[in-house]
Amino acid sequence: MGSYPSTNIIRKSLFDGRFYPHGQKVLKRELEFLFKSAAAPVEKETLPQAIISPHAGYVFSGEVAASAFNQIPAGASYKRVFVLASSHHLFFKGASVYCDGDYQTPLGDLKVDRELARELVENHDIFSNNREAHNLEHSLEVQLPFLQYRLADDFLLVPVILGTQSDRDCESIARVLSPYFNKENLFVISTDFSHYPEYRDATKVDKLTSDAIITNNPDVLLRTIQQNKKKNYNNLATSLCGWTSVLTLMYITQNKNVEYKKIVYKNSGDIALYGDKSRVVGYQAIAVFNKEELPFSLSGKEKHYLLEIARNSLERYFRIKNRAGVIQNVESGKLSIQTGAFVSLYNKGKLRGCIGSFFDSTPLPALIERLAVSAAKDHRFDSVTYDEVSDLVIEISVLTPLKRINSINEIELGKHGIYIQKGGFSGTFLPQVAEKTGWSLEEFLGHCSKDKAGLGWDGWKTADIYTYEAIVFREGEELS
């Protein structure tokens, strides 16, 4: 276990008055001006999962940085914000996470997720707690006032300084952080682009580099940086000063269904008062959006239709003992989807049967019709009788596709169902099980592993774990 101070050692603002204005009032006025000049959101209703933002003095790159942060919709909320910045002064293996306290700016203190920071350091050798790396580095600090202006302080900060110059280290860092790249968190990547070529060369080099980034292919970025060096642009010191941070993001996203979008580009030569076109620094804002399909939803009418199918199926079966379906083919629309579902039957609040399928090749209505009868014959319970049918309350859970997780921290109790699988053994709990039992995450996993999968209480620790969500609705409730 690491040794950490018991007090909150705040990483004080060190670069206000140098890279951005000193003092709360002046800084707020500057941010207000920059956001008024910023590029409009390219996706008005979609939260970005990552942004790439420059870190020069606000007088040079502030408008481009504000354009990156302006992609975050007003009123957006994130649980955590990971800020990845490459060290300009201190070089070391891997990355340093600030574990000892909160981060300060003139706008106030930002609460650091010290519990997660320490977990990263203690469990993964690629991370360290190097306080000096944070005290020397401006590229992380200058992003924070933009975050505070756009999100206030309603999030936990995970500040990461990359000291490495190794692409393999970047891949290792990405492997650890990948489970946290989800809809509840934001990644902010701090980098400027080309350093010191003349204006026209900078625009060429920066376009090549940004084009490589939006391919979402780390190998393309690495190859482009090498090719830029070989072209011998005059005074080109680097194509991308924070290349390790950008590369880490790309290793995280390379197998995810995301889209990189360029927002706006400028370089220091575009600044009217200070622009020197003979030696410039490039700035590019980029946002990364999750392009997975919107969550599957059902209207109240569609829910009512499925419940009606289940009810008619039960009554027909008990009346004439006929399992054969009478549903006409559903050729289009949401009800034609081939997905998983569960049908549960309750009598006076007591479960009388529950049968489901994670995937079926038949349309959803036909699946519900079949599962309703099967639930009435669930061998774990006394079979439902004909006299009981009118007293039953039918509950349907329509499932989203299974998603394999890398960390149990990805499980949100009450939202996610779990499917545990190892060898020929498997078991599942629907999302609502956690709510009804009040179990902790450990209990949720342990009971599923032991009672459902037959793997023992700790069997989940060496098994594959999948999550899914469910649209749950039942008879007698208002359907919307």
User: 393-406, pLDDT tens digit by residue?
Assistant: 999 999 887 788 88
Residues 115 and 228 in one domain: yes
CATH of residue 177's domain is 3.40.830.10
Residues 69 and 205 in one domain: yes
Single out the residue in 222, 256, 290 at which a domain terminates. Answer: 290
Residue 369 contacts residue 316 (beta carbons within 8 Å): no
Task: For residues 136 and 241, state if they share a domain.
Answer: yes
- 404 and 466 Cβ atoms separated by less than 8 Å: yes
Q: Which of 260, 290, 320 is where one domain is finished?
A: 290
pLDDT band at 32; cut points 50, 70, 90: very high
202 and 274 together in one domain:
yes
Residue 468, strand partner residues? 417
Indicate if 265 and 409 belong to the same structural domain.
no
Within-domain flag for 14: no
Is the same domain home to 331 and 309?
yes
Average pLDDT, the chain: 91
92 and 203 housed in the same domain: yes
- Tell how strand 464-468 and strand 417-422 pair up: antiparallel
CATH number reported for the structural domain that contains residue 318 in this entry: 3.30.700.20
Measure the CA–CA gap between 461 and 463, rounded to whole angstroms. Answer: 6
* Range scoring the smallest mean pLDDT among 44-48, 246-250, 253-257, 289-293: 289-293
Q: Are strands 80-86 and 185-190 parallel, antiparallel or unpaired?
A: parallel
358, 428: one domain: no
Residue 50, in any domain of the structure: yes
418 and 390 both lie in a single domain:
no
Q: What is the CATH number of the domain that holds 406?
A: 3.30.1490.150
The pTM for the full model equals 0.64
Rounded mean pLDDT, 377-405 = 90
- Among the residue ranges 100-104, 150-154, 450-454, the one predicted with the least confidence is 150-154
Strand partners, 287: 51, 261
Instruction: With respect to residue 389, please indicate whether it lies within any of the assigned structural domains.
Output: yes
Under the banding of pLDDT at 50, 70 and 90, the label for residue 45 is confident
Round to whole Å and give the CA distance between 368 and 386: 19
Q: How is residue 93 written in tokens?
A: 């293996």
Of the ranges 93-97, 249-253, 283-287, 428-432, which one carries the lowest mean pLDDT score?
428-432
Assess if residue 18 is contained within a domain. Answer: no
Average pLDDT over residues 289-313: 86
Domain boundary among 258, 290, 322: 290
User: What pLDDT score was predicted for residue 328?
Assistant: 44
Q: Domain span at residue 227?
A: 24-290
Q: Is the pLDDT of residue 150 over 90?
A: yes
338 belongs to a structural domain: yes
Domain count, the chain: 3
Q: Output the pLDDT for position 330.
A: 46
Q: Is residue 36 part of a domain?
A: yes
364 in Cβ contact with 380 (< 8 Å): no
- In 196-294, the DSSP E strands lie at 258-267, 282-290
Contact 246, 191 (CB under 8 A): yes
Give residue 332's pLDDT band: very low, low, confident or very high (50, 70, 90).
very low
Detail the DSSP E strand segments found in 373-423. Answer: 392-399, 403-404, 417-422
Asked whether residue 223 falls in the same domain as residue 185, the answer is: yes
Residues in the chain: 480
Answer yes or no: do 228 and 211 share one domain: yes
Q: Could you tell me if residue 62 is inside a domain?
A: yes
213 and 335 assigned to the same domain: no
At 357 the pLDDT is 85
Interval 315-343 mean pLDDT: 68
Q: Which residues contact 295 (CB under 8 A, 6 or more apart)?
A: 400, 469
At residue 331, does pLDDT exceed 50?
no
pLDDT exceeding 90 applies to what percent of the chain?
77
Residue 201 resides in a domain: yes
Chain centroid offset of residue 1 CA:
28
Q: What is the 3-state secondary structure (H, E, C) of 21-37?
A: CCCHHHHHHHHHHHHHH
